[in-house]
Amino acid sequence: IVKKLSTFKKISQQCTGNAYQIYQQIYTQLFNQAHVIVSTCCNIGDNKFAERSFSFCLLDESSQCIECEQLIPIVRRAQQLVLVG
Compute the distance between CA of residue 54 and CA of residue 49 in angstroms, rounded to an integer. Answer: 10
What percentage of the chain has pLDDT greater than the value 70? 85
- Could you read off the pLDDT of 29-47 as tens digits, one per residue? 888 888 888 888 888 888 8
Convert 29-68 to b/e letters by CB count within 10 Å (16 or more is b): eeeeeeeeeeeebeebbeeebeeeebeebebeeeeebeee
Kindly report the pTM of this predicted structure: 0.57
**pLDDT band at residue 3 using 50, 70 and 90 as cut-offs:** low
Q: Which of 16-20, 26-30, 33-37, 60-64 has the lowest mean pLDDT?
A: 16-20
Q: Where are the domains of the chain?
A: 1-34, 36-85
Residue 1 has pLDDT above 70, yes or no: no
Per-residue pLDDT, 84 = 87
Polymer length of the chain:
85
Lowest model confidence (mean pLDDT) among 7-11, 26-30, 50-54: 7-11
Which of 62, 32, 69, 70 lies closest to 48 in space, CA to CA? 32
